[in-house]
Amino acid sequence: TLYLWNDQLVDKNQIKIDIEDRGYQFGDGVYEVVKVYNGALFTAKEHLTRLGQSMQKIGMETPFDLSNLHRLLEELVEKNGLQDGMIYLQVTRGTHARQHWFPPADTPVVVTGYTKEMPRPASLMEKGVKAHITDDIRWLRCDIKSLNLLGNVLAKQEATKHDAFEAVLHRDGTVTEGSSSNLYMVKNDVIYTHPATNLILNGITRQVLLAVCRKAGLTVVEKPFTLDELRLADECFLTSTTSEVMPIVQIDNDLVSSGEVGPITRKCQSLFTSLIE
C-alpha cells in the first residue's frame, strides 16, 4: 500500500512528519475526503476545487498544482488497487519553529494522503439512523474544511454517547448541519437545508444532490429551519461523501414522523445512486 507524501507515492515508513508541522501543532491546514467507486474517483474535481478554496481562505497561497495532485491521487488509487473506498487528503501550512503568525511565504506546504477500503453503507441507508441534538459550539468559518475539528469531534462524541450516528448541530435553535455531514428536513414535499453560508460546510454531496433534485423537479429550499420545525418534519436525512444520502428516522427519543424512511428521502437516494452506478 502506497501513501501520498508531497509529490511522491511512498511506503508509509518513508514518510517523515516534523513535530513542528503546523498541522500537528495548530491544526493549521485543510483536508478533503473523496470517494472511490469501482476504482474511479467520484467528483474529484469538485473536491480539489474546494481544497483550493479552503487553502485560499486561510491564506495558503503557496504555488500549488491541483491538476498534478489529481493525477497523483488517480495513480495512488490505481497502484493500491482500490475499488470501493475513500481517499483522505490533507495539506498543512508546513514546518516551522512554533509561532502563531505565518511562516515565510516560501515555506513548503506538507501534503499527505492515503486510501482506505470502505463499502457503501447499504444497510444503514436502508433502515436509517438515529441523531442527537447538540449545540453548535464551532467557530464562524465552518465553510472552510479546516483540520481544526475539535468542535466537530466533541459533537460526534456526544452523539456517540447517546447511541446516535450523527449530531444535529444548532445555534440558538437554528439547525446548521451535522458534525461531519449536511442536514435536511422534508415538510409537505419540500426539502429544506441550511444555505451555504459561513455557518456550514457546503458539502460536495449536498451540491450534487441539490442539482439532481432540482433537475428531477423536486422543490429544494435553501433556508435555515429550527429545532421546532425539525420536530414536526415529515422526513429528515443527512448527506456526506461517506454516508451518501442517509435517512434519519429518530432524533433523541422521538421518531421522525412514523420512524420509517420517507418517499422523498428514497427518491433522493435513488437520484444520488444513479450518479455513481
Give the residue with the Cβ less far from ligand PDD, 204 or 249: 204
Q: Which one of residues 92, 115, 193, 241 is an interface residue with ligand PDD (CB under 6 A)?
A: 241
- Please indicate whether residue 79 is annotated as part of the active site: no
The site map against ligand PDD for 159-198 (x = CB under 6 A) is ------------------x--xxx----------------
Return the residue of 90, 240, 250, 265 that touches ligand PDD, per CB under 6 A. Answer: 240
User: Does 201 participate in binding ligand PDD (rule CB under 6 A)?
Assistant: yes
Which residue spans within the chain are E strands per DSSP? 3-5, 8-10, 29-37, 40-41, 85-92, 110-117, 129-135, 166-171, 174-175, 182-187, 190-193, 219-222, 235-240, 244-251, 254-255
Residue 108 CB, nearest approach to ligand PDD (Å): 25
Residue with cell 469531534: 153
156 belongs to the binding site for ligand PDD (CB under 6 A): no
Cell of 30: 485543510
**Is 140 buried (19+), middle (13-18) or exposed (0-12) by CB count in 10 A?**
exposed
Q: Judge contact between 184 and 192, C-beta under 8 A.
A: yes
Which is closer to ligand PDD, CB of 95 or CB of 236? Answer: 236
Tell me how far, at minimum, the Cβ of 235 lies from ligand PDD, in Å. Answer: 19
> Which one-letter amino acid corresponds to residue 91?
V
What residues are annotated to the active site? 145
Q: Which spans of this chain sit near ligand PDD (rule: CB under 6 A)? A: 33, 152, 177, 180-182, 201, 203-206, 239-242
